[in-house]
A and B are shown apart, each in its own frame.
Chain A
Amino acid sequence: MLATDTTLGQSLANRGVSRRQLVKFCTAMLGTLALPDRYLAQTMAAVTKARKPVLVWLPFQDCTGCSESMLRSSHPDVADVVLDLLSWEYHEVVMAGAGDAANKVLDRVAKEEKGKYIVVVEGAIPTADDGMYCTIGGRTALDIATQMCSNAAATIAVGACAFDGGLVRSSPNPTGALGVHEAVPGIKVINMSGCPHNPVNTAAVLVHYLTFHDLPDLDQYNRPLFAYGRIIHDQCERRAHFDAGRFVTEWGDDGHKKGWCLYKMGCKGPEANFNCPIVQWNDHTSWPIRAGHGCIACASPRFWDNMSPFYDRLPMVHGFGVEASASHIGAGLLGSALVGVTIHGLVRTIKPVPYPVEAINTPAPNPETTAGKEN
């Protein structure tokens, strides 16, 4: 069954994809990856010659939003990704098989495709209480991830949860959830953070991998630079309003209707690294700031705890009885200083300490010199 040598190019030709369409697709991919034109031939060669690499998509403590996001992939079209670019052999949400038939796929891929297949992980991996917070086919998520990721050519962690535990790991982290690279140390991971991941970027990484058999340049969090190298603020369509000092001050006000900057409404664009404003979502239709709502920095490390509250510029400060905003604390500090010096000054004025002239020059008792003072 698996013995044939049909290439991707043949299968594309078989289903009536012309060379012209193929060139168009490969060019689009190069654009996303910001690679120069001269790589076109190489990309074309890779896409047309390779036998389809096997991909398994493992969902753990997830909401399936990242799978859904992948299903919204337009360039390349989701059907092309699933049927033609790759052999997408395991993905619980859409695969035909269930139960034993599904579990056998994993075992077969780990054995027969050892070192050659790609794993995509969606969702966090629970580690508390022996990992019993997520089991599939009677095995824990950690067990499955360890088996599948350590035999894979590369692991792609999609979404905030697979990246660093995401929402599941937020305080108080009831299930001891971790991201893939922490739960299964020592494997080759590329992180596609975001809540959900943007399918355009993930598809670009897959194509890059198919073309060069290597991962694109990564940042310090193992995220591809082409997608996570710049902050949203620098790429935002509302940036001109920020610089001009034009801000939305209340939802639905005039500035809001005019598309002014959402900085005062808690937008985390200045904190967030992502290419959201450039590639946008759902076939380049829009993105959250375009929809009038601030960014929540969903691609940033531990963003749920770090970037919330989402409607304030800065985190709340704990330990003052109730949570206090930074401005309240600052105002309190200044107020206390003013009150303090005023009281001090007043008391000095009203009730001056009587000081004799002789006392003016009395030095502090000096333990080192008092002994010799008689001299």
Chain B
Amino acid sequence: MHASKLELPQTPLRQPRMESHPRLRVGPAVAVYVWQYPLRVAHWGLVLCIGILSFTGYYIHDPFIIGQSNTYFLMGWIRFVHEVAAMLFMAFLLIRFYLFYGGDRWARLGAMLPLKRKQWTEMWEMVKFYFLVRPTPVPKVGHNAIASVSYLGIYLLMLVEVITGLVMFNWLSHGPVLTPLVGWIPRLFNIQNIRLVHFLLLFVFIAFGIIHVHMCLTVSGVEKRGLMDSIFTGYKIIPVEELEEDDHQAIAASRGEGVKK
């Protein structure tokens, strides 16, 4: 299988501008289409929803603006917006979850779950990077090992947030669809604890957001692979020698080519 590693892609999707960069060794590089557009849509959709949901959710917990006229319908609107944003949030989360299965090499669950020893070694190297011991991050086309695990954790917590939210929604609406799905949950965990979890996770998501942005900026600035760009454009510029074997296959697949032997 080492053979395929040596075979370069025929034509890079874009002309690399790498040569002009003083810190990079001159060499062949490719623009890799890492983040498919459904993934980017899901990402920004989730960001937007989390923003709206956090504000409206906090207001619902502690209505810090007091309506002065009965025409404001303030809490009514805020709750409506919260509920609509929650539906959108679920849709975006569903897209992301589909990509665990139907996405490309860098989006799949298999690439993110730390099941191989190599991923654990990488994780340790990344810890060293985050604690300023190692100067550069481990070169990686997709998520690095620590990012993968933390994103999976956050997705899991988002799932918890969705379920607790649905429980509370059903608490009010007693819908015929939701009741069989989540109606049993308040019998196991009392409704107040469900509310508490739902509320506490708000802060977990915002704290995650802060750390996430900070770490992306840091990594992007150090490795100069266009990480920050990539979540807008989908592309990262990767030196060919950093491509792993699976990356080659994925790039080929993304161009509709078969894997070359």
Q: Let me know if B70 and A361 touch, CB within 8 A.
A: no
Interface size, chain A (Cβ < 8 Å): 61
Known: A314-B199, A333-B207, A362-B136. A271 touches B191 (CB 8 A): yes
Query: Chain B interface mostly helix, strand, loop or mixed?
Result: helix
Interface size, chain B (Cβ < 8 Å): 61
Q: Let me know if A243 and B75 touch, CB within 8 A.
A: yes
Apart from A344-B214, A361-B239, what 4 extra A-B contacts exist at CB < 8 Å?
A334-B203, A337-B206, A355-B136, A364-B118
Stretch from A2-10, A27-35, A91-99, A245-253 contacting the other chain: A245-253
List A contacts of B218 (CB < 8 A): 344-345, 348
List B contacts of A334 (CB < 8 A): 203, 206-207, 210
Which residue of B63, B117, B192 has the most chain A CB atoms within 10 A of its CB atom?
B192
Q: Is A367 an interface residue (CB 8 A)?
A: yes
**Chain B 56-71 interface 0/1 with A at a Cβ cutoff of 8 Å (1 = within):** 0000011101111111
Assembly CA distance A353 to B199 (angstroms): 39
**Chain B 224-261 interface 0/1 with A at a Cβ cutoff of 8 Å (1 = within):** 00000000000000010110000000000000000000
Q: List 13 A-B contacts (CB under 8 A).
A: A245-B78, A246-B66, A301-B187, A306-B190, A326-B196, A329-B200, A337-B208, A341-B210, A348-B218, A353-B132, A364-B118, A365-B125, A367-B118
A331 CB to closest chain B CB (Å) equals 8
Within 8 A of A (CB), among B114-129: 117-118, 121-122, 125
Contact partner of A329 (CB less than 8 A), chosen from B63, B172, B203, is: B203
List A contacts of B134 (CB < 8 A): 353
Q: Let me know if A249 and B239 touch, CB within 8 A.
A: no
Assembly CA distance A372 to B214 (angstroms): 37
A325 CB to closest chain B CB (Å) equals 10
Q: Is B211 an interface residue (CB 8 A)?
A: yes
Q: Let me know if B74 and A244 touch, CB within 8 A.
A: yes
Contact partner of A249 (CB less than 8 A), chosen from B66, B172, B211, is: B66
List B contacts of A326 (CB < 8 A): 61, 196, 199-200
Closest to A362 in B: B136
